[in-house]
């Protein structure tokens, strides 16, 4: 059993296609097919089966996948351990909620690349639930998610706090007015697994509010554009709304603090030794948001932000 066979196996399992897997690992399809057949022959088990939807794992393949990922992860850990005394280097696969990636991470990632140019950094955006699964499956080294989790497989570090607010078009000037309109409104959200969506659904349940329709959208820009046009409402971090290019078309409505104030948490597996790149990134992240609390120095400060949207007196009283 060779490392390249394991890498090809994991690529096929993730891509669901020999062709896509070959493109991902920069080889030809025939090479991938041959190596997988060799691996199946060595194990005495079929690892994949062809279906109309693509290539899927057999039960034996599903069992083997966890071990293959772990072997590859341990190989990378051993390489990182030997290079620990050197400057941070190698791959660092990060994940983030789209809102965090859009507003909180740009200055941090820029600073990290300046300090650690030898690190091959990648960033994937997804829902909190999907990011947790990706970290659990060793597909991501770490991720920024919404809220602390009851998950003993993860190391969880609180990074910063967000204030969640309802956003609507300028047609609504107070939370009371918006609440009366909710039964006729469309709520615009990311897909199931989004932490902010589940928070909004919980708040609706607590208050007895029920929107007319829930519409899933795939991008932050799409949600904000539809809200600004009067199509519906959404729940997002206040920082996202205030820095949005459509801010003049949006109204912010504050909700009770016990719902609104949420932690953004950085997670990683507790059975994986942090690489030098990971250790450097976590340290810089804590430094970044510690400075934010005390007032950022020029080296870490983001460009000047537009003025915050004024809150109505009725909304302020609810916070």
The pLDDT assigned to 315 comes to 37
pTM of the model: 0.70
Q: How do the domains of the chain map onto residue ranges?
A: 1-83, 161-261
C-alpha count within 13 angstroms, C-beta hemisphere, residue 43: 22
pLDDT along the chain (319 residues), means of 10: 87 89 88 89 89 86 88 78 70 95 94 94 96 94 94 93 94 88 91 94 89 91 94 94 91 92 95 88 90 49 35 31
Q: Return the closest-CA partner of residue 289 out of 257, 260, 263.
A: 263
Cross-strand pairs, 317: none
The pLDDT assigned to 82 comes to 65
The pLDDT assigned to 207 comes to 87
Strand intervals (E) in the chain: 48-51, 54-57, 90-96, 119-125, 142-146, 154-169, 186-189, 213-216, 234-237, 250-254, 261-269
Question: What string of DSSP letters covers 36-86?
Answer: HHHHHHHHTS--EEEETTEEEE-HHHHHHHHHHHHHHHHHHHHHHHHTTTS
Superfamily holding 161-261: Periplasmic binding protein-like II (3.40.190.10)
The C-alpha atoms of residue 312 and residue 302 are separated, in whole angstroms, by 27
What CATH class is the domain 1-83? mainly alpha
Cross-strand pairs, 51: 54
The answer to whether the 1-83 and 161-261 domains have the same CATH topology is: no
Contacts with 135 (C-beta within 8 Å, 6 or more apart), sequence order: 95, 141, 142, 143, 154, 267, 268, 269
Helix pair angle (105-115, 276-294), 10° resolution: 130
The pLDDT assigned to 86 comes to 65
The pLDDT assigned to 288 comes to 86
């Amino acid at each position: 059993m060779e490392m390249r066979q394991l890498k090809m196996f994991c690529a096929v399992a993730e891509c669901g296609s020999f062709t896509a897997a070959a493109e991902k690992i920069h080889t030809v399809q025939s090479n991938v097919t041959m190596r997988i057949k060799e691996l199946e022959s060595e194990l005495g088990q079929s690892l994949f089966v062809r279906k109309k939807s693509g290539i899927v794992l057999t039960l034996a393949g599903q069992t083997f996948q966890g071990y293959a990922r772990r072997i590859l992860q341990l190989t990378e850990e051993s390489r990182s351990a030997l290079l620990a005394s050197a400057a941070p280097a190698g791959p660092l696969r990060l994940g983030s909620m789209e809102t965090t990636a859009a507003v909180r991470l740009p200055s941090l990632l820029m600073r990290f690349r300046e300090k650690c140019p030898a690190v091959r950094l990648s960033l994937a955006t997804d829902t909190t639930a999907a990011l947790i699964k990706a970290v659990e499956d060793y597909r991501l080294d770490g991720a920024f998610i919404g809220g602390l989790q009851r998950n003993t497989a993860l190391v969880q570090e609180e990074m910063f706090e967000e204030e969640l607010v309802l956003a609507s078009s300028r047609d609504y000037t107070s939370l009371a007015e918006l609440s009366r309109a909710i039964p006729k409104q469309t709520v615009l959200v990311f897909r199931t697994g989004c932490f902010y969506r589940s928070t909004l659904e919980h708040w609706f349940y607590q208050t007895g509010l029920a929107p007319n329709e829930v519409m899933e959208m795939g991008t932050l820009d799409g949600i904000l554009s539809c809200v600004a046009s009067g199509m519906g409402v959404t729940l997002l971090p206040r920082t996202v709304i205030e820095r949005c290019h459509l801010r003049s078309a949006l109204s912010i409505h504050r909700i009770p603090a016990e719902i609104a104030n949420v932690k953004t948490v950085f997670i990683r597996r507790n059975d994986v030794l942090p690489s030098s790149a990971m250790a450097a990134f976590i340290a810089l992240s804590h430094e970044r948001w510690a400075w934010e609390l005390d007032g950022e120095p020029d080296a870490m400060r983001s460009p000047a932000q537009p003025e915050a949207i004024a809150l109505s007196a009725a909304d302020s009283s609810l916070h």
